[in-house]
Structure 1
Amino acid sequence: MVDYEVTVYTGNRVHATTVNPVHIKLVGTDGESDRTWLRSLVIFRGAVTTYTVSCPNSLGRLLLIELDKRQFFILPGDAWFPDKVEIKSPENDIYTFPIYCWISDSETHRFREGKALRIFDESHPLGQYAREQELSRRNVDYGWDLYAQGLPYSIKADGPMTLPDEVQFSFTKATEFAFTAATAVAELQLKGLTDNQENWTSLDDINDVFRNKDTPLSDYVQQHWKEDDFFAYQYLNGPHPTLIRRCKTLPGNFPVTDDMVFIPNGSNLSNELKRGNIYLCDYKHLDGLQANTVQGIQQYMMAPLVLFHKRPDDKLMPIAIQLKQTPAEDNPIFLPTDSTYDWLTAKIFVRSADFTEHQLNAHLLRTHLLAEVFAVSLLRNLPMVHPLYKLLVPHTRYTLQINEQARDTLIGPKGSFTLFAASGGESVTKILARSQSSITYRSLCIHEDIADRDMQDVPNFYYRDDGLQIWNIMFKFVQGMIQYYYKSDDEIQRDSELQTYIGDIFEHGFLSQPQSGIPQSFTTVSELIKFATMVMFTSSSQHAAVNNGQFDYGGWMPNTPLTLQRPPPTKKGTTSEATMLQTLPVINVTVQGMAVVWLLSRQSSDFVPLGHYPEDHFTEEIPRQLQKDYKAELDKLSTTINNRNKTLEIPYTYLDPKNVENSVAI
């Protein structure tokens, strides 16, 4: 007889304990053990327990283990969360089997040894069989569903609680999320605000909505939101830094002339266009859409064009606003030299349009929905033993559940966005479909996006500065990982699982549109490195950039109204403080919007920062060292960002790696 020393690591999660009998079978190249009971009455959360499995002869090189958990007589069925199993063989070889999933049924579950294997590395029929069985089950668990025509596909599910256990929120995350949402609503109800459909009579009254939830930056926004330089600053470093671009030639539908705008130091608009000092935000995706009806009142949503000038002191300043796409007599171009409330009202309409463009395009579509596509394709097409699965699975954590909840509570028939936002209802899917058709691979890669928008040298653009540094660090890490496993382009082409993975993304994420530039297959190592970097960046850093500042900039509603209930002025000189207050959303609509952005800006206690890997999917020495080097580089960048922020009036913190979650989890 020979003995195998089996050490079981149970996760330190709430409810990870099991009282059900657990059995294990070891499978090797030369045979398999009997199904052996791990003799514990209870396997506690966080426990590290060692057992002995005896066999008549050596099993050779271990390929996989089989685990099952059966309900025993009167004991209740429960779920068990093992992290990993380590096995010491009679030959003193150590094998590690990563698990990191819930076992809640009575089925037999197979787990591979931790060394990453590509499909053409499988030299034993049992390994190939286990790989096929795993993907067969995953294709059932992770099916595709079409939420609406023209949008990326989503996970096929009947609500968050029907998702597979391993992709649902932890008990901690679920409890905190529900509590945060409930306390926000309860506070608003106690203040009598959730049913109050009256107009605001004073801006000061808005400050009392969430007084105890203010952040330093939301307070700053309240004090400075009317100022032109702050209005412009938000397009560089607020939660929507991806729309603004340099403008060398004015759009034909934006007839701003030299005589209209004031340019300091004796210059004029024509000269500043040539010098590259003019920038544009164009909300054309919103053009021609019917705004929502909220509580029986027709709302208004514009599709503005906004022109900015970079002054000699490097400040960006708005110089012209046109609120509709088509020039007309009743569509004046508003200027800073207009009356105070004409100009302020025009900026409010722009900020309301920005709420829609940011939430639906930059945030929902380009991070949440794309991250979901990346996650579903990964889970459908790559087994746990595949090196790309091991690299990317940390960036899928909680994404499927948060998106299922968003489809229900935000953009579903009774969702907050549907009921209260100007773009709610039918316009949501129309805006998303328009935005989807404009997505390109280049726009998802920050180096190329910055170049295409010609924003390389704009001063004080911290989203660009920090984002490019994160991308470079991430690219270097991914390059090291991919090149460790793939030594030639031929190996990329031979990996049929990789090809199925990218084909699934091209079809279901980018709707088989070749003009998007998304690869339909992988032919080179460099292609895979770039694509994997984009997936990681989109699912972590880009989401942080467009998510984490939502309450900072939207907690003071007049700065980012989710809807407006009066049409824009069609003639100058017709606005006042009273008309502005009548234009802003009513009290209960305001507080609903503020509650949503507050909830979506909260960090949970089980937040996993970028570069942290609490689950050891890689077991080889070099990949593990690459992970450590990656984290060290991100820590160094975090220090640099913190030192810079000490010198800024408005610190830019959203791309500090310590504030970036590894996945789209909120």
Structure 2
Amino acid sequence: MFLFDKSQKIKGTVVLMPKNVLDANELTAVQNGGLGGVVSGFFDAVADVAGQAVDTATAILARNVSFKLISATSTDANGNGKVGKETYLEKHVPTLPTFGNRRDAFNVHFEWDANFGIPGAFYIRNFMNDEFFLVSVTLEDIPNHATIHFVCNSWVYNFKKYKKDRIFFVNNTYLPSATPPPLVKYRKEELEVLRGDGTGVRMEWERIYDYDVYNDLGNPDSDKTLARPVLGGSSTYPYPRRVRTGRKATKKDPKSEKLAGDIYMPRDEKFGHLKSSDFLTYGLKSLSQQLLPSLENVFDSDLTWNEFDSFEEVRALHEGGIKLPTDALSDFSPLPVFRELFRSDGENALQLPPPHVVRVNKSAWMTDEEFAREMIAGVNPNVIRCLQEFPPKSKLDPTLYGDQTSTLTTQKLEINMGGVTVEEALAAKRLFILDYQDAFIPYLTRINSLPTAKAYATRTILFLKDDGTLKPLAIELSKPHPSGDNLGPVSKVVLPALDGVDSTIWLLAKAHVIVNDSGYHQLISHWLKTHAVIEPFAIATNRNLSVIHPIYKLLYPHYRDTININGLARQNLINASGIIEQSFLPGKYSMEISSIAYKNWIFTDQSLPADLIKRGLATEDPSAPHGLRLLIEDYPYAIWVKEYVSLYYPTDVAIQQDTELQAWWKEAVEKGHADLKDKPWWPKMKTVQELIQSCSTIIWIASALHAAVNFGQYPYGGFILNRPTLSRRFIPEAGTKEYDEMVKSPQTAYLRTITPKREAIIDLTVIEILSRHASDEIYLGERDNPNWTSDSKALEAFKRFGSKLTEIEGKITARNTNSTMKNRYGPVQLPYTLLIPTSEEGLTFRGIPNSVSI
């Protein structure tokens, strides 16, 4: 019984952020007019707001935001939670848009009925024309209950935009079966709103999550060469699903979606106020719309400008800039996002930050040891595997591609194995392979028909030395047979060499390996296996798990900004003639190749232990730490989930009886990953262990796996000599003009083979943006609000998880200083820090954000 009068009022504190004039999702002036466009846009926005009034029904009383509490303990005549009397903020919400992320706190007082009970939710109405970001609502001094927190983090538009009033729930955690009866109806209704009805064009203010195929990458109405196949929905091009936008079909291809304006994403998925990725948005759009056409003008006026003439000129990109033709960019006024790239010093100097890989030693990238080390400690460490059989074989259909078995021989390998035989090395698990034969052969004929592409499919064999480092033994370079793919490859083997023309050929062979690796990394290891595969889980979570469901609270931070960055990628990075197609080897076939790779994607293999075991880099050993024994002892790639899940699911029966959980998993598999839904490896979600395994895998992919393959892009790849993205000619044959040039000038031969200047600038500018941490990033072990749950046991478990991460960070730092662990430092003297959990803002080469946020 409540010991207070019905006339008593309960105080609430409402924290919100007004609309931000620099919100990248709202303002496009910066694309069109640089900083002046921002300023102009700001004053235009001020003028617009000044001319607006709040909804006429409330304007007279100066009431612009209202609230109604919903009881979690008392019901109305229909058995639903009682709805309290409407009350209003006691001050106006500022109507002028702001700079930055200013948070304003407002008081609100609720009339309290002693029979109302404890509030578990509230309705909110915004009577203003402008939206605002509702951060939180806190109710204080509630008799017999103290303080109640509502963590909101959502945009609220004018109430007329919604079919049902916006509702927010208390930060308590309930399984569906344990939901307080008065809240059951409201819990179900909110999920229905988030699911929508699957029809219509989605609008800016909506929060509807639905599935669609990747049918918006091409632009056939603009140019037939920009048509691209639909990815998803077929056995030919299977793909994970993305958020449905509902846009109309193109005129020339009814299966493709018309590109019209910004891509819809549920409003709360858009970048926040502070995120420096606001400028990521400007940067990527401006790259496509302004920088690239301007660079093309450079080449039109000076065709020779596109070639680097020496390694020193490449280094000048980071050490002083490159002089641009004086009249080439006369009509190009660089945007603020490129102020570090183009500087007005009278010489149009183009300069990029120095990449980590050459900060200490400028030439160590050329060594065989560093070439091998980056396969396990670089930006793409998830492809190398222990060699199980010799010679290596292929899984490609021999009726289509002939016999793809390797032409490598034991005699060629054993030249550099110090007396160890191939048979002995196989038995001792000392041979490793970086194998791109099957990934590229099916597309190589088409790739090599592109204007400048000349590439091989590569296999690299490496030997594990006694000191724990890897030594490359041979590189096999394969091309399709000129008379047809079905006749098998034309292959040659290149061996290490230190002197003369053979050393140049070896350097070129390594470049071709890295071009394979760069393309595979960007399209498959990075885009497909983190960005693309996570989005369906984000959609399914929002559609099926209530915000008060424990698994929602566990997983939601690991989806932050993913839908936004993926939508932005479809607009500017992976689209037809986008940045990826222009600067990476597969060109127009890039996304098709990632689709073919998705056929072999297995969810349960993505977690770290399973991945290491599958690739033969670890074996199960109960006596070893974490039950694994690593073959390469200091492999620098190696969860509170079990403890958290166990708080809510004491038995397997609890898993099976959770209706929301079962609907979530069923939809994630059958709709989100529909093209692979019949695969037998999907967990059935019938046991606690399956839930722990699945949640752990999702969190691993979204956090540490993405960090490992993303934030080293510029530190390693920012020096284009170290990680070229294009190969433009084959290794020259003796007796040709190119061979004579190679003998005369090895540097020229290398530079004419790899990425030229224009594409290098495009690539480096993009990966420099993508390798940076935002100012508002939230890292593994952190939450954006300390009151994310009211469950004290969950908070204690999360605190222990944070302490464990701090301990891990200390261990990584200690291992990086251990001189016996040579793979962690390498010839370039760059310690492996990518999986250190914390980071500062910027280009740090460390830090694990919670989510695929950039």
Q: Answer whether TM exceeds 0.5 for this pair.
A: yes
State the partner residue of 1:85: 138
State the partner residue of 1:248: 388
How far the C-alpha of 1:244 sits from its partner, in A, is 0.5
Query: Which whole-Å CA distance do the structure 2 matches of 1:182 and 1:413 have between them?
Result: 14
How far the C-alpha of 1:98 sits from its partner, in A, is 2.1
Distance 1:277 1:569, change over 3 A: farther
Query: Is the CA contact (8 Å cut-off) linking 1:294 and 1:419 kept in structure 2?
Result: no
State the partner residue of 2:312: 204
> Which stretch shows the higher mean deviation, 307-316 or 48-57?
48-57
Query: Is the CA contact (8 Å cut-off) linking 1:98 and 1:113 kept in structure 2?
Result: yes
State the partner residue of 1:626: 797
Q: Which of 271, 275, 288 is matched with 1:169 structurally?
A: 271
Query: Which whole-Å CA distance do the structure 1 matches of 2:735 and 2:372 have between them?
Result: 22
Pairing 1:137–2:193 present: yes
Distance 1:97 1:581, change over 3 A: closer
Query: Is the CA contact (8 Å cut-off) linking 2:453 and 2:728 kept in structure 1?
Result: yes
Distance 1:323 1:664, change over 3 A: same
Query: Which whole-Å CA distance do the structure 2 matches of 1:346 and 1:640 have between them?
Result: 37
State the partner residue of 2:83: 32
Q: Which has the larger radius of gyration?
A: 2
Query: Which whole-Å CA distance do the structure 1 matches of 2:138 and 2:93 have between them?
Result: 17
Structure 2 unaligned runs (5+)? Answer: 1-5, 24-48, 55-62, 75-81, 96-101, 197-207, 215-230, 233-237, 248-260, 320-351, 394-404, 482-487, 619-629, 819-824, 839-846
Pairing 1:154–2:316 present: no
Query: Which whole-Å CA distance do the structure 2 matches of 1:221 and 1:389 have between them?
Result: 47
Query: Which whole-Å CA distance do the structure 2 matches of 1:413 and 1:187 have between them?
Result: 17
1:331 partner amino acid: S
State the partner residue of 1:652: 832
Distance 1:439 1:463, change over 3 A: farther
Query: Which whole-Å CA distance do the structure 1 matches of 2:361 and 2:537 have between them?
Result: 35
State the partner residue of 1:110: 167
TM-score calculated relative to the size of structure 1 = 0.90
Query: Is the CA contact (8 Å cut-off) linking 1:176 and 1:604 kept in structure 2?
Result: no
Query: Is the CA contact (8 Å cut-off) linking 1:332 and 1:570 kept in structure 2?
Result: no
How far the C-alpha of 1:218 sits from its partner, in A, is 4.1
Distance 1:80 1:376, change over 3 A: same
Write out aligned runs for 1:270-349 (5 A). 270-283=423-436, 284-290=438-444, 297-324=451-478, 330-337=490-497, 339-349=502-512
Query: Which whole-Å CA distance do the structure 1 matches of 2:86 and 2:406 have between them?
Result: 75
Query: Which whole-Å CA distance do the structure 2 matches of 1:357 and 1:4 have between them?
Result: 62
Pairing 1:480–2:639 present: no
Query: Which whole-Å CA distance do the structure 2 matches of 1:276 and 1:295 have between them?
Result: 39
Pairing 1:355–2:515 present: no
Pairing 1:128–2:281 present: no
How far the C-alpha of 1:342 sits from its partner, in A, is 1.2
Query: Which whole-Å CA distance do the structure 2 matches of 1:393 and 1:344 have between them?
Result: 46
> Which stretch shows the higher mean deviation, 577-586 or 365-374?
577-586
State the partner residue of 2:617: 455
Write out aligned runs for 1:389-408 (5 A). 389-408=552-571
TM-score calculated relative to the size of structure 2 = 0.71
Write out aligned runs for 1:252-267 (5 A). 252=393, 253-261=405-413, 262-267=415-420
Query: Is the CA contact (8 Å cut-off) linking 1:80 and 1:103 kept in structure 2?
Result: yes
Query: Which whole-Å CA distance do the structure 2 matches of 1:52 and 1:208 have between them?
Result: 63
> Which stretch shows the higher mean deviation, 233-242 or 575-584?
575-584
How far the C-alpha of 1:9 sits from its partner, in A, is 3.9
C-alpha distance after superposition, 1:508-536 (max 9, x if no partner): 226234436122x4111111011111111
SS of equivalent residue, structure 2 residue 632: coil
How far the C-alpha of 1:160 sits from its partner, in A, is 5.3
Q: Which of 49, 65, 74 is matched with 1:22 structurally?
A: 65
Distance 1:598 1:193, change over 3 A: farther
Query: Is the CA contact (8 Å cut-off) linking 1:9 and 1:83 kept in structure 2?
Result: yes
Query: Which whole-Å CA distance do the structure 2 matches of 1:199 and 1:291 have between them?
Result: 26
SS of equivalent residue, structure 1 residue 463: coil
State the partner residue of 2:13: 8
Pairing 1:639–2:810 present: yes
Query: Which whole-Å CA distance do the structure 2 matches of 1:84 and 1:533 have between them?
Result: 31
Structure 1 unaligned runs (5+)? Answer: 466-473
How far the C-alpha of 1:537 sits from its partner, in A, is 0.9
Query: Which whole-Å CA distance do the structure 1 matches of 2:551 and 2:763 have between them?
Result: 39
Pairing 1:416–2:416 present: no
Query: Is the CA contact (8 Å cut-off) linking 2:152 and 2:168 kept in structure 1?
Result: yes
> Which stretch shows the higher mean deviation, 508-517 or 398-407?
508-517
Query: Is the CA contact (8 Å cut-off) linking 1:342 and 1:572 kept in structure 2?
Result: no
SS of equivalent residue, structure 2 residue 491: coil
C-alpha distance after superposition, 1:284-311 (max 9, x if no partner): 2111214777998231232211100112
Query: Is the CA contact (8 Å cut-off) linking 1:26 and 1:62 kept in structure 2?
Result: yes
> Which stretch shows the higher mean deviation, 380-389 or 613-622?
613-622
State the partner residue of 1:557: 720
SS of equivalent residue, structure 1 residue 8: strand
How far the C-alpha of 1:623 sits from its partner, in A, is 0.9
C-alpha distance after superposition, 1:327-349 (max 9, x if no partner): 98952111114801111111111
Query: Is the CA contact (8 Å cut-off) linking 2:285 and 2:572 kept in structure 1?
Result: no
Query: Which whole-Å CA distance do the structure 2 matches of 1:294 and 1:208 have between them?
Result: 31
After superposition, the CA RMSD in angstroms is 3.0
> Which stretch shows the higher mean deviation, 380-389 or 333-342?
333-342
C-alpha distance after superposition, 1:489-511 (max 9, x if no partner): 11110111111111122122262
How far the C-alpha of 1:242 sits from its partner, in A, is 0.5
Query: Is the CA contact (8 Å cut-off) linking 1:152 and 1:370 kept in structure 2?
Result: yes
Query: Which whole-Å CA distance do the structure 1 matches of 2:383 and 2:170 have between them?
Result: 46
> Which stretch shows the higher mean deviation, 588-597 or 193-202?
193-202
Distance 1:217 1:301, change over 3 A: same
Query: Is the CA contact (8 Å cut-off) linking 2:779 and 2:837 kept in structure 1?
Result: yes
C-alpha distance after superposition, 1:154-176 (max 9, x if no partner): 11136755322211011332433
Larger RCO: 1 or 2 (CA < 8 Å, sep 6+): 1
Query: Which whole-Å CA distance do the structure 2 matches of 1:356 and 1:464 have between them?
Result: 21
Write out aligned runs for 1:585-600 (5 A). 585-600=755-770
Query: Is the CA contact (8 Å cut-off) linking 1:378 and 1:389 kept in structure 2?
Result: yes
State the partner residue of 1:515: 679
SS of equivalent residue, structure 1 residue 97: strand
> Which stretch shows the higher mean deviation, 291-300 or 330-339?
291-300
Query: Is the CA contact (8 Å cut-off) linking 2:90 and 2:106 kept in structure 1?
Result: no
2:271 partner amino acid: F
State the partner residue of 2:696: 533
State the partner residue of 2:637: 464
Q: Which of 357, 377, 386 is matched with 2:549 structurally?
A: 386
Query: Which whole-Å CA distance do the structure 2 matches of 1:23 and 1:294 have between them?
Result: 63
Distance 1:81 1:571, change over 3 A: farther
Distance 1:4 1:160, change over 3 A: farther
C-alpha distance after superposition, 1:445-479 (max 9, x if no partner): 110111111112333644332xxxxxxxx2xx111
Query: Is the CA contact (8 Å cut-off) linking 1:304 and 1:325 kept in structure 2?
Result: no
Query: Which whole-Å CA distance do the structure 1 matches of 2:489 and 2:106 have between them?
Result: 79
Query: Which whole-Å CA distance do the structure 2 matches of 1:387 and 1:85 have between them?
Result: 21
State the partner residue of 1:64: 121
2:192 partner amino acid: S
> Which stretch shows the higher mean deviation, 193-202 or 182-191?
182-191
2:692 partner amino acid: I
Write out aligned runs for 1:220-239 (5 A). 222-239=362-379
Distance 1:644 1:286, change over 3 A: same
Pairing 1:435–2:537 present: no
Query: Is the CA contact (8 Å cut-off) linking 2:88 and 2:108 kept in structure 1?
Result: no
Query: Is the CA contact (8 Å cut-off) linking 1:102 and 1:165 kept in structure 2?
Result: yes
Query: Which whole-Å CA distance do the structure 1 matches of 2:117 and 2:156 have between them?
Result: 27
